[in-house]
Amino acid sequence: MSDNDILVEVRDLKVHFPIRRGVLFDRTVGHVKAVDGVDLSIPRGKTYGLVGESGCGKSTLGRALLQLNPPTSGEVKFDGVELTTLPAGKLRTMRRRMQMIFQDPMSSLDPRQNVESILTEGLQTHGIGANRDDRRRIIGETLDAVGLPRWALSRYPHEFSGGQRQRIGIARALVLGPELIVADEPVSALDVSIQAQVVNLLDELQDSLGLTYLVIAHDLAVVRHISDVVGVMYLGALVEEAPSDRLYTEPLHPYTRALMSAVPVPDPDVEDRRERILLAGDLPSPANPPSGCRFHTRCPWAQPTRCADERPELRSIGASRVACHWAEQIAAGELRPHEVTAKITRPEGEGEEPGVVSAPSEPGSYV
Ligand SMILES: Nc1ncnc2c1ncn2[C@@H]1O[C@H](COP(=O)(O)OP(=O)(O)OP(=O)(O)O)[C@@H](O)[C@H]1O
Ligand code: SF4
Ligand SMILES: [Mg+2]
């Protein structure tokens, strides 16, 4: 694939939030490593799905890509232009080409603005449309594209259903004519029956407008349906990335295997027989991530060598990229899963004992 086919390129991206303490003297006592070394590329016109547990850094990564969370270090190239060092004025101009859709349209839409005003605001900010009529034409076409009637223009967000509100959120992004849309949990707040409509709308818009998406979602089925490539995040980093179907049929990383084993299969016989991997314990704190492989405190395949002290690189295995020292041996069945007792790591000063704290928890079980 030539460089020209890649719209977004992220290299070793880190976003660390300072943890501040103290009443009189505000001091930094540590950092939440929300995103801690991510590399990924999104080809033009394709969809990159991002999944992972709550708190693993998905939203922070999406926001950092658009420079809404300033990265601590690393590179973000959009259409060949490095964004992290771009002067503010140029970044504002660039923002028109990169838009975001949020999980909860009610809280992301201003309740005091009617739809026309919501859609006009962005056009005016970016100087799009020669005059009022021209802006009305653009807005009308956008409403048609997202399946909203013209009378919606004079209405306010609370007058719409959840699905229609998300269409307004999509229209607000679309009206600016972006190339990239970062959709952060775009259907999580919607009824299941409405979710499919909104996912299909995103799909159709991609086909007709050649859009590129980063779709963040908890729901693995939603991501599979819409994505060309899926990245799985754990504690601020990608642990696996693969073409969508391959990730679901042949997960290679132990964490991905655990996630996939929790997705129900429609065939009841297969559902009864298949392996389930229950992960022990909660996600460790991103303020004090485990040493070595960050998944080693919960990994059913963790080995006495390498796992606790050597951070695995994201390396290519076939069409996938996997961050596990033992991925080949696990795939070949040479290593078997064992039980894990969870350990929770807390930020220094939060527990009785800083660092690693044993947690009473159910060991993982395997069928
Ligand atoms: N502005 C901020 N300041 C400090 N910490 C933050 C900030 N934003 C996010 N975090 C922390 O960074 C980590 C990653 O958060 P993020 O919201 O990116 O996760 P997520 O994967 O999107 O989770 P969810 O699935 O619940 O939306 C969390 O520990 C969160 O508490
Ligand atoms: S490197 Fe070790 S701990 Fe990490 S996922 Fe692989 S087997 Fe598990
Ligand atoms: Mg989030």
| Per-residue model confidence as pLDDT tens digits over 139-191 | 999 999 999 999 999 999 999 999 999 999 999 999 999 999 999 999 988 88
Confidence (pLDDT) at 241: 98
Tokens of 292: 């070595």
246-279 per-position pLDDT tens digit: 999 999 999 999 998 877 777 777 667 667 787 8
Q: What is the mean pLDDT of the chain?
A: 88
Q: Which ligand is nearest to the CA of 253?
A: 2
CA distance 71 to 63: 9
Instruction: Answer yes or no: is the C-beta of 30 below 6 A from any ligand 1 atom.
Output: no
Q: Separation of 184 CA from ligand 3 center, angstroms? A: 7
Point out the ligand 1 atom lying closest to the alpha carbon of residue 17: 4
The segments of the chain whose pLDDT lies below 50 read 344-345, 349-367
CA distance 25 to 18: 15
The per-residue DSSP string of 58-96 comes to: HHHHHHHHTTSS--SEEEEEETTEESTT--HHHHHHHHT
Q: What is the bridge-based pairing of β-strands 212-216 and 81-82?
A: unpaired
Neighbours of ion ligand 3 (CB under 5 A): 59
Confidence (pLDDT) at 93: 92
* The residue to which tokens 């594209």 are assigned: 145
Q: Residues lining ligand 2, CB < 6 A?
A: 253-254, 293, 295-296, 299, 301-303, 307, 312, 324-326
- CA atoms within 13 Å, Cβ hemisphere of 200: 8
Confidence (pLDDT) at 3: 64
Amino acid code (one letter) for 253: H
Q: Using most ligand atoms within 8 A of CB, pick from 29, 32, 219 the residue to mutate for ligand 1.
A: 32
Confidence (pLDDT) at 6: 97
Confidence (pLDDT) at 173: 95
Instruction: Name the phi and psi angles at 19, rounded to 5.
Output: -100, 120
CA distance 289 to 302: 16
Helix (H, G, I), strand (E, B) or coil at 193: helix
* The residue to which tokens 């009443």 are assigned: 23
Confidence (pLDDT) at 270: 66
Question: Whose CA is closest to atom 2 on ligand 1?
Answer: 17
Instruction: Answer yes or no: is the C-beta of 286 below 6 A from any ligand 1 atom.
Output: yes
